[in-house]
């Protein structure tokens, strides 16, 4: 018997919610197959779609997440094989490691019929993702697992809030062919924020949350302005300012860096604008000789699931 779990990509931070907010998209995403084995213990038998990822359970985000869940269930002696199908690039800012960790716990939970809810699975997925990002941050794990637009009020107690999603909210993410490690993007950040900038950003996040509850697309646009992290990381992404400007010029409500980058996302009202904005963003990357992939989707309110 085997089960296959799918966990989607996510837009970490959503610009203004550094380390605390994320948004689930429909594709790309990772798959993890879990199956019983007569050999005791958890093993990774295959990793498809990526090279260089560790098959050592303790070093692999999907493996470690699954292991932590098995420890919780007292089932570490059970023979389980994992097969990881990477269908999204690492270091893209799309929450690739989080998706693998989420798919890992979803697959094991289903294989063992353990019956844990998604919220109960969250801590184990976070523990797996931690080895990739260097810290316990649920801002990709939680949206990939739960779907929708998610706030992590407290990473230690996993105090999670799921916001309502305005019905016409559409996303576009443009992933340039550049690799950036979250650890690197994190290391360049100044350890202090000017008080004035903090005030501005806190007003923007408060307004953004309100706009989600009131379907106020204009306010989403006015408040989606990251004045803290984006200015510091923009220089790591060649062409960033032109890409963002292209999105806004083509009707996007707002645009910023997805997660730690280098992917750039835009939120749009409706699929048509998202398609137009995405093409313009891709053209702006092309203008600096960077090829890129476009992903457009509504907000994915389902999150991770089992593929039947």
Which residues contact its own copies by CB under 8 A? 17-21, 151-154, 159, 161, 163, 189-195, 198-199, 201-210, 213, 219, 222-223, 228
Is 129 an annotated catalytic residue? yes
The CB-of-172 to its own copies minimum distance in angstroms stands at 23
Pick the closer one to its own copies by CB: 21 or 57.
Answer: 21
Pair of tokens at residue 301: 């309110």
Active site residue: 61, 81, 171, 182, which one? 182
Pick the closer one to its own copies by CB: 52 or 196.
Answer: 196
36: phi then psi, degrees, rounded to nearest 5 = -70, 150
Active site residue: 129, 171, 230, 296, which one? 129
Counting Cβ atoms within 10 Å, is residue 133 exposed (0-12), middle (13-18) or buried (19+)?
Answer: buried
How far apart CA 140 and CA 265 sit, in angstroms, is 14
The CB-of-149 to its own copies minimum distance in angstroms stands at 11
Pick the closer one to its own copies by CB: 19 or 275.
Answer: 19
> 21, 139 in Cβ contact below 8 A?
yes
Pick the closer one to its own copies by CB: 14 or 24.
Answer: 14
Residue 138 is given by DSSP the state -
For residue 37, give Cα distances in angstroms to 1, 59, 100, 304.
9, 21, 21, 24
Pick the closer one to its own copies by CB: 81 or 230.
Answer: 230
Query: Other C-beta atoms within 10 Å of 41: how many?
Result: 14
**Closest to 4 measured CA to CA, from 107, 84, 102:** 107
Pick the closer one to its own copies by CB: 37 or 155.
Answer: 155
The CB-of-206 to its own copies minimum distance in angstroms stands at 5
For residue 258, give Cα distances in angstroms to 38, 68, 82, 92, 153.
42, 28, 29, 8, 19
Kindly report whether the peptide bond that precedes residue 230 is cis, defined as omega within 30 degrees of 0: no
**Closest to 253 measured CA to CA, from 170, 165, 173:** 170
The CB-of-162 to its own copies minimum distance in angstroms stands at 9
The CB-of-191 to its own copies minimum distance in angstroms stands at 5
DSSP for 53-87, please give it: ---SGGGSHHHHHHHHHHHHHT-TTS-EEEEEE--
The CB-of-150 to its own copies minimum distance in angstroms stands at 11
Residue numbers annotated as active site: 129, 182
């Amino acid at each position: 018997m085997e089960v296959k779990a799918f966990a989607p990509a996510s837009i970490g931070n959503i610009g203004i919610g550094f380390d605390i907010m994320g948004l689930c998209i429909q594709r790309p995403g990772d798959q993890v197959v879990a199956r019983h084995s007569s050999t005791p213990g958890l093993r990774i038998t295959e990793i498809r779609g990526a090279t260089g990822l560790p098959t050592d359970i303790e070093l692999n985000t999907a493996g470690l997440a699954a292991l932590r869940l098995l420890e919780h269930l007292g089932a570490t002696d059970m023979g389980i094989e994992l097969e990881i199908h990477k269908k999204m690039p690492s270091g893209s800012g799309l929450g690739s490691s989080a998706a693998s960790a989420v798919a890992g716990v979803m697959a094991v939970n289903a294989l063992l019929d353990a019956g844990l809810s998604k919220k109960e699975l969250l801590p184990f997925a976070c523990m797996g993702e931690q080895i990739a990002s260097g810290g316990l941050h649920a801002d990709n794990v939680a949206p990939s697992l739960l779907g929708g637009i998610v706030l992590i009020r407290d990473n230690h107690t996993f105090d999670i809030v799921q916001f309502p999603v305005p019905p016409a909210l559409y996303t576009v993410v443009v992933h340039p062919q550049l690799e950036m490690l979250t650890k690197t993007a994190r290391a360049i950040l100044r350890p202090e924020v000017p008080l004035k900038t903090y005030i501005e950003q806190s007003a923007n996040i408060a307004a953004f949350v309100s706009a989600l509850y009131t379907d106020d697309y204009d306010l989403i646009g006015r408040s989606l302005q990251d004045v803290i992290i984006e200015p510091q990381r923009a220089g790591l992404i060649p062409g960033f300012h032109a890409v963002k400007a292209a999105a806004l010029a083509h009707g996007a409500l707002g645009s910023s860096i997805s997660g730690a980058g280098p992917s750039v996302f835009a939120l749009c009202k409706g699929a048509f604008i998202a398609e137009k904005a995405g093409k313009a963003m891709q053209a702006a990357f092309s203008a600096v000789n960077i090829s890129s992939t476009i992903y457009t989707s509504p907000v994915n309110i389902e999150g991770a699931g089992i593929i039947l």
